[in-house]
Amino acid sequence: MKRLVVEGWLLLVYFEFLMSFRKFRDLHAVLAKKQVQRCSSLDQVSKESICSAMDYACTLYFKQVLCLQRSSATTVLLRRYGWNAELVVGVQTLPFKSHAWVEVGGTVVNDRAEIIGSYKVLKPASF
């Protein structure tokens, strides 16, 4: 679990850098390149453990973590451990808000499904 928290924390730093100094298309390119890795049954980690580790990494982070940053890092971490995770971005028009979350097999894994229902999903772009 400690290793997952450290990996998650480092990914948060990486994605904060991308979001601060690069363009959204660069973040998109990173996610598009990160393919699901094949894991042996011994290396398989549950998606719940990965999401819990990421939640803990967020509490240890030195500032508030944005949903896009958190969800991008979670997507990479899940793929690293064999899960076919997809980053999803949605918007709400009135009042305007946007939100990002992660789904595995069409199921939300790092947020509450009832919150996600108020957002219209943007056209998937293979995150």
Q: Residue 42: what pLDDT?
A: 55
Helices 67-80/24-33 angle, 10° precision: 20
Model confidence, pTM: 0.88
Domain ranges of the chain: 2-121
Q: Residue 126 pLDDT > 70, yes or no?
A: no
DSSP state for residue 107 in the 8-state scheme: E
Q: Is 79 left (phi over 0), alpha (psi -120 to 50) or beta?
A: alpha
For residues 102 and 108, is the Cβ–Cβ distance under 8 A?
A: yes
Q: Which among 91, 121, 95, 94 is positioned nearest to 103, based on CA atoms?
A: 121
The alpha carbon of residue 126 and the mean position of all alpha carbons in its chain are separated, in whole angstroms, by 13
What is the per-residue pLDDT across 65-101, written as a single tens digit (0 to 9) for each?
999 999 999 999 999 999 999 999 999 888 898 999 9
